[in-house]
Amino acid sequence: MNNTIKLRVKRSATDDFDEFTIPVQKWTTVLECILHAKHQFDHSIAVRYSCRQATCGSCGMKINGKPSLACFTKVSEIDSDTITVEPMSNFPIIRDLAVKFDRLFENHRKVMPYMDNTPPESSRMHIQSPAELDKFIQFANCIKCGLCNSACPTMATDTSFTGPQALAQAYRYVADSRDKDKDKRLRIIDDSHGIWRCHFAGSCSQVCPKGVDPAMGIQLLRGYMLGLSD
Amino acid sequence: MDTNKDNREGIGGMANPGRYGIERVAYWLMRLSGLGLLVYFIAHIYETSSILRGEVGWNELMAMTDTPEFHIVLIIVIGMCVFHTVNGIRVMLGHGGVGVGRPTRPDYPYAPASQNTRHKIAIYSAIVLAAIAMVYGSTVLFGV
Ligand code: HEM
Ligand code: SF4
Ligand code: FES
């Protein structure tokens, strides 16, 4: 690999790309490249990030066309000396690489991502077996980065779609043995812009950086609603 | 500035099958073949309704459609039909949560279980079966 790469950053003011030559090492991440460009060449580049370790979900963007976390994508993983970064699709752009998450959070809130925590009458606490935990823990890994919504082909044409992020979270609670609000939640997603809009293209799962596999959650949820799975 | 304030990818992004593996290609072929079959279905009703004009009307239409161009269209319809049906069965099972894997405690590098080999085999089978049917169709229609 060369010791420099060409970084192309999509700028919202000009609707064009600015190019920077960035020195890199094996472990350099795309986020570090962007920050290098920001610190050394052009401090007006807008980029959102926080944890730098794939935990906060703020640095999602399209890297060479594919929705990815900038902090979780190493330059050495990309088979190219040119790295093009653009804001995620299907989200309104605030500036440059920073996009608005209002609708993602709104949809997330809409599916009631919380539990009625009243313990069962017979006991003072909820008892859950490891097998019951396994049914939903994968979906609880979601960091709300929005990459799935950016990759989703339904989202590409219908921004009123609830989206893979929120639908997978609906399943996270429906699959939880402690949950008492299944029916309420199912009524919310049983909508023409809700779960039935998913065509199982699977792109959400291809880009999810946390192994949530939203496509699996959505199909299992639909199976549950159709009475095919428990 | 961009007039598309949601920065939606639109139909171009929806259809772009290059970035997300064979599952996205299957999604795209499914839509295309579904719409193609719908158009064929309407045309087919129009075609067969020529029987209302009696034997002469029917024969006229049969003669009109007995051309290499129409045969090529029919061969494409055969391919769409087979792909749409086989992939349709896969998609229906998937939509019911069948064969999409079981939730686990995911471990890096996180291979999504819903995008599993079974589904990939089903997609490639749909494509191969469609191709075989198209080859058979052309030997019948063009009599080679
Ligand atoms: C045995 C035969 C068939 C099966 C198993 C089947 C199955 C399916 C399935 C499962 C879908 C939903 C795909 C998705 O969610 O993305 C679908 C969509 C569709 N089908 Fe079929 N189908 C069959 C025959 C037909 C025929 C004969 C026509 C046309 C007259 C047709 C037209 C369509 C259309 C227009 C769509 C919508 C495409 C889309 O929105 O992606 N299908 N089919
Ligand atoms: S499901 Fe995955 S891709 Fe979607 S928001 Fe959650 S962590 Fe991000
Ligand atoms: S900076 Fe937190 S996920 Fe990338």
Q: Provide the pLDDT for residue B16.
A: 76
Point out the residue among B7, B23, B97 whose CB comes nearest to the CB of A90. B7
State mean pLDDT over A25-41. Answer: 97
Kindly identify which residue of chain B lies nearest to residue A206, measuring between CA atoms: B20
| Alpha-carbon gap, residue A114 to B75, rounded angstroms | 53
Q: Provide the pLDDT for residue B144.
A: 62
**A177-180 long-range Cβ contacts below 8 angstroms, 24+ apart:** A177/A128, A177/A132, A177/A135, A178/A115, A178/A117, A178/A126, A178/A128, A179/A115, A179/A116, A180/A115, A180/A116, A180/A118
Class of domain A4-99: alpha beta
Does A212 sit in the ligand 3 pocket, CB within 6 Å?
Answer: no
Does A208 sit in the ligand 2 pocket, CB within 6 Å?
Answer: yes
| Residue for token pair 């992020």 | A165
Q: Provide the pLDDT for residue B19.
A: 85
Check CB contact under 8 Å for A222 and B5.
no
Point out the residue among B103, B106, B110 whose CB comes nearest to the CB of A136. B103
Q: Which two tokens stand for residue B108?
A: 């890096």
Task: Name the nearest CA neighbour of A62 among A78, A76, A51.
Answer: A78
CA of A33 to the centre of ligand 3 (A): 14
Residues 6+ apart with CB under 8 A from A101: A91, A144, A146
| Alpha-carbon gap, residue B96 to A219, rounded angstroms | 6
Find chain A residues with C-beta within 8 A of B6's C-beta.
90-92, 159
A41-55, A198-212, B3-17, B89-103: the lowest-pLDDT one: B3-17
Where exactly are the structural domains of chain A? 4-99, 102-225
Q: Provide the pLDDT for residue B1.
A: 42
Question: With bands split at pLDDT 50, 70 and 90, how would you rate the model's confidence at A187?
Answer: very high
Task: Name the nearest CA neighbour of A212 among A161, A160, A146, A159.
Answer: A146
State mean pLDDT over B130-140. Answer: 97
Question: With bands split at pLDDT 50, 70 and 90, how would you rate the model's confidence at B2?
Answer: very low
Q: What is the mean pLDDT of chain B?
A: 92
Q: For testing the chain A interface, which of B3, B5, B9, B23 should be mutated: the one with the most A CBs within 10 Å? A: B9
State mean pLDDT over B1-25. Answer: 81
Tell me: domain B15-100+113-142, CATH 1.20.1300.10, correct? yes
Identify residue B10 by its one-letter amino acid code: G
**Helices (H), ranges, A50-181:** 102-110, 130-134, 147-151, 163-174
A46-55, A116-125, A180-189: the lowest-pLDDT one: A116-125
The β-bridge relationship of strands A82-86 and A4-11 is: parallel
Point out the residue among B19, B98, B112 whose CB comes nearest to the CB of A215. B112
**pLDDT tens digit sequence for B55-64:** 999 999 999 8
User: Is the predicted pLDDT of residue A115 greater than 60, yes or no?
Assistant: yes
Check CB contact under 8 Å for B110 and A200.
no
**Which has the higher per-residue pLDDT, B16 or B71?**
B71
**pLDDT tens digit sequence for A193-225:** 999 999 999 999 999 999 999 999 999 999 999
User: Is the predicted pLDDT of residue A229 greater than 80, yes or no?
Assistant: no
Which ipTM was obtained for this model?
0.90
Helix (H, G, I), strand (E, B) or coil at A101: coil
Q: Provide the pLDDT for residue B4.
A: 72
State mean pLDDT over B7-26. Answer: 87
Q: Provide the pLDDT for residue B3.
A: 54
**pLDDT tens digit sequence for A72-104:** 999 999 989 999 999 999 999 999 999 999 999
* CATH code for residues A102-225: 1.10.1060.10
Q: Provide the pLDDT for residue A119.
A: 79
Q: What is the mean pLDDT of chain A?
A: 95
